[in-house]
């Protein structure tokens, strides 16, 4: 599996100056930190994706596991890396999303309940959310520009990000919940490419070291999913 540090090094060396580049940085860092599929990112609920203070709160509407369009995943949170952190400017997914959203704040968005990453081509005067195929292509373009083998597609970010997290001290149960894997078995069989290769109950309980990756610190610090009465309803209202 490829190393997400290649993407971080790429953004360190190539700070984005255009809306397109800011979008690409936001997509790539979010997918690596949240362990989401391109289709998941395309289904972020507009009404339930907000940045409050230093925290991104988000929910996914109708993810692959539950294609019911009215179903919302529980609230999840992603913390912003501190401003004085050495990696804050190039490796923080929350700051990357905020920078991208600021760059399109004056554009009218289509009235769509899903999707927070947009096409810059206007349709009827509005910009529309990108679908899974285009988001996967953006991820692939960043990966290949960063030196990742072209053998890998954008969808591999889910496995690369989660495996990287385990290799750098993330709590296994946080990784499992954030990626919404149904079981330890499913994760180990289909996604886990970490050096520890297989995670069982004992190794998960023993993983107590402090995360030593910028992506992991942003994700693992807020790994617990808050699930209250509103987040368990089908429409989230």
To which residue do tokens 């599996």 refer?
A: 1
Quick check: 151 pLDDT over 80? yes
Give the model confidence (pLDDT) of 82-130 as tens digits: 998 888 889 999 999 999 999 999 999 999 999 999 998 887 789 999 9
| Assigned domain for 202 exists | yes
The CA dihedral of 224, 189, 131, 17, to the nearest 10 degrees, is 70
| Assigned domain for 237 exists | no
> DSSP code of 123?
E
Quick check: 200 pLDDT over 60? no
Domain containing 32: what range? 5-232
Alpha carbon distance 236, 214 (integer Å): 31
- Return the pLDDT at 218: 61
| Assigned domain for 108 exists | yes
- Return the pLDDT at 125: 82
Q: Angle formed by the axes of helices 19-34 and 132-145, to 10°?
A: 100
Alpha carbon distance 49, 32 (integer Å): 18
**Number of structural domains in the chain:** 1
Quick check: 205 pLDDT over 60? no
CATH at 167: 1.10.443.10
- Return the pLDDT at 217: 63
- Return the pLDDT at 184: 85
Least Cα distance to 62 among 109, 113, 16, 100 occurs for 113
Determine contact, residues 6/160, Cβ cutoff 8 Å: no
Predicted confidence band of residue 219 (pLDDT cuts 50, 70, 90):
low
pTM of the model: 0.83
Determine contact, residues 141/14, Cβ cutoff 8 Å: no
| Assigned domain for 197 exists | yes
Give the model confidence (pLDDT) of 14-60 as tens digits: 999 999 999 999 999 999 999 999 999 999 999 999 999 999 999 99
Give the model confidence (pLDDT) of 152-176 as tens digits: 999 999 999 999 988 888 888 889 9
Quick check: 230 pLDDT over 80? no
């Amino acid at each position: 599996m490829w190393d997400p540090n290649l993407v971080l090094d790429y953004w360190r060396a190539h700070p984005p100056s255009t809306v397109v580049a800011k979008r690409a940085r936001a997509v790539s860092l979010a997918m690596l930190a949240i362990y989401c599929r391109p289709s998941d990112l395309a289904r972020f609920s507009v009404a339930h994706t907000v940045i409050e203070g230093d925290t991104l709160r988000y929910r996914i509407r109708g993810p692959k596991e539950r294609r019911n369009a009215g179903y919302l995943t529980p609230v999840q949170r992603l913390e912003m890396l501190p401003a004085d952190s050495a990696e804050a400017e190039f490796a923080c997914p929350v700051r990357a999303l905020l920078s991208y959203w600021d760059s399109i704040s004056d554009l009218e968005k289509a009235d769509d309940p899903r999707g927070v990453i947009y096409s810059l081509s206007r349709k009827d005067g509005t910009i529309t959310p990108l679908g899974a195929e285009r988001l996967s292509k953006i991820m692939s373009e960043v990966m290949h520009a960063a030196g990742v083998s072209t053998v890998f597609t954008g969808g591999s970010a889910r496995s690369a990000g989660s495996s990287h997290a385990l290799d750098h001290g993330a709590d296994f149960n946080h990784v499992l919940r954030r990626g919404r894997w149904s079981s330890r078995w499913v994760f180990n069989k289909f996604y886990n490419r970490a050096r520890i290769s297989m995670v069982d109950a004992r190794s998960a309980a023993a993983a107590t070291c402090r995360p030593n990756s910028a992506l992991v610190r942003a994700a693992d610090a807020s790994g617990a999913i808050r699930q209250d009465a509103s987040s368990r309803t089908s429409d989230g209202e």
